[in-house]
């Protein structure tokens, strides 16, 4: 059994600067030994600034580096499938960014390849490991709000300056991202709900473009049901006049309200009293999830964000958007 997992990153861009990259260096039993970016100068600059021994401008070269034990894929979703298949062929575990892929069909191919190669596949839905949401899960299991009956999601966001200026970004290019901002941000929210309330087994929805700033959808509404019988509804708008991030889980004895992306206090309204809990996220927000991945690879624990759970989230997105 290895005592240290030596990681290689494919795609050392913005997400690897603070959110994830340092987490591989700070997690117990983990070491970041190589990074890759198509622009070699940028890869070399990342390696220099973060004290990473080796850098590449070719993904296959990093994957086949004998000093790399496991691969973190931090590229846009359009390349997740190919990089995962390559890593599986090399017999190396994969930790892939969210959303897992552009569709549930691509997710299935990734799962099959890793199962055939007998290597684990993890997905970076890192909110599952944050103390903030582990606390929410505990409160639900403890019955703080009684029996959970429903959940309501409202996520509103004003257009970014880039959107208003017509600057094309990969997150609103369905060929790269799978859909628009809903795939990028909505996937986090849907996965988190499944972590808290169990699998979603029914989902329908509708999508449209109201702002006219780009071609892909900017408003999505959905109705969904969980295996447990809990019912849910949500609206995601990326062309709004205000910013709002609010999920309310309603039970027979109260409710829990939280922001998925912010650090605002989590609120419990139950038994005639309102209690707020200040549970800020860590600076390197992926580090707790990375630790669970490392622990599982070392035989010391278990990661709860797998290819199977990640694929379920893509399946829900496909159903909401009316895709086969």
Read off the pLDDT of residues 84-143 as tens digits, 9 standing for 90 and up: 999 999 999 999 999 999 999 999 999 999 999 999 999 999 999 999 999 999 999 999
At a CB cut-off of 8 Å and minimum separation 6, what does 14 contact?
A: none
Hey, how many other C-beta atoms are within 10 angstroms of the C-beta on 248?
Answer: 15
Alpha helices in the chain (DSSP H): 14-17, 21-26, 40-49, 59-63, 80-89, 104-117, 131-142, 161-164, 174-177, 181, 187-197, 287-297, 307-320
**DSSP letter, residue 37:** -
For 164-217, how does the pLDDT look when each residue is reduced to its tens digit (9 = 90+)?
Answer: 999 989 999 999 999 999 999 999 999 999 999 999 999 999 999 999 999 999
pLDDT tops 80 at residue 25: yes
Length reported for the chain: 324
What CATH superfamily classification does 131-281 receive? Dihydrodipicolinate Reductase; domain 2 (3.30.360.10)
pLDDT band at 74 (very low <50, low <70, confident <90, very high): very high
pLDDT tops 80 at residue 2: no
In this prediction, residues 146-169 reach a mean pLDDT of 96
CATH topology of domain 5-127+286-305: Rossmann fold (3.40.50)
pLDDT tops 70 at residue 264: yes
The percentage of residues in the chain with a pLDDT greater than 70, rounded to a whole number, is: 99
pLDDT band at 1 (very low <50, low <70, confident <90, very high): low
At a CB cut-off of 8 Å and minimum separation 6, what does 134 contact?
A: none
- Rounded to the nearest integer, the mean pLDDT of the chain is 97
The pair of structure tokens assigned to 187 is 């996937």
Q: What is the pTM of this model?
A: 0.96
In this prediction, residues 31-47 reach a mean pLDDT of 98
Q: At residue 119, what are phi and psi to the nearest 5 degrees?
A: -125, 145
In this prediction, residues 62-77 reach a mean pLDDT of 98
Task: Give the chain's largest Cα–Cα span.
Answer: 60
Write the DSSP assignment of 248-279 as a string of letters.
Answer: EEEETTEEEEE-SSS-PPEEEEETTEEEEE--
What is the spatial distance between Cα 321 and Cα 205, in angstroms, rounded to a whole number? 6
Q: Give the pLDDT confidence score for residue 324 in this predicted structure.
A: 86
What is the spatial distance between Cα 288 and Cα 40, in angstroms, rounded to a whole number? 30
The pair of structure tokens assigned to 22 is 């340092």
Residue with tokens 């931090």: 74
Angle between helices 187-197 and 307-320 (to 10 degrees): 120
What are the strands, taking DSSP E only, across 124-241?
Answer: 148-156, 200-208, 219-226, 231-237
pLDDT tops 60 at residue 278: yes
Bridge pairing between strands 54-56 and 70-73: unpaired
Tell me the domain boundaries of the chain: 5-127+286-305, 131-281
pLDDT tops 80 at residue 232: yes
In this prediction, residues 267-294 reach a mean pLDDT of 97
């Amino acid at each position: 059994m290895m005592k240290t997992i030596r990681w290689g990153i494919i795609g050392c861009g913005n997400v690897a600067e603070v959110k994830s990259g340092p987490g591989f260096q700070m997690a117990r039993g983990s070491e970041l030994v190589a990074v890759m970016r198509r622009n070699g100068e940028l890869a070399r600059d990342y390696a220099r600034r973060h004290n990473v021994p080796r850098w590449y401008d070719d993904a296959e070269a990093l994957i086949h580096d004998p000093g790399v034990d496991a691969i973190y894929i931090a590229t846009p979703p359009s390349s997740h499938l190919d990089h995962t298949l390559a890593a599986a062929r090399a017999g190396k575990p994969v930790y892939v960014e969210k959303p897992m892929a552009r569709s549930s069909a691509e997710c299935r191919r990734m799962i099959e390849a890793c199962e055939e190669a007998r290597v684990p596949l993890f997905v970076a839905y890192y909110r599952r490991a944050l103390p903030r949401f582990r606390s929410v899960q505990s409160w639900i299991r403890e019955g703080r709000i009684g029996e959970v009956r429903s959940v309501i999601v409202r996520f509103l966001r004003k257009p970014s300056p880039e959107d208003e200026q017509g600057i094309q970004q990969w997150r609103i290019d369905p060929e790269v991202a799978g859909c628009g901002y809903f795939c990028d941000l909505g996937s986090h929210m849907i996965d988190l709900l499944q972590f808290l309330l169990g699998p979603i087994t029914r989902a329908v929805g509708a999508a449209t473009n109201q702002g006219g700033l780009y071609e892909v959808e900017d408003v999505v509404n959905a109705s969904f049901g969980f295996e447990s019988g809990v019912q849910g509804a949500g609206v995601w708008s990326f062309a709004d006049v205000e910013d709002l991030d609010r999920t309310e889980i309603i039970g027979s004895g109260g409710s829990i309200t939280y922001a998925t992306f912010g650090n605002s206090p989590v609120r419990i309204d139950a038994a005639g009293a309102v209690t707020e809990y200040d549970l800020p996220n860590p600076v390197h927000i992926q580090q707790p999830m990375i630790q669970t991945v490392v622990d599982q690879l070392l035989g010391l624990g278990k990661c709860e964000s797998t290819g199977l759970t990640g694929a379920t989230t893509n399946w829900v997105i496909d159903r909401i958007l009316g895709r086969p």
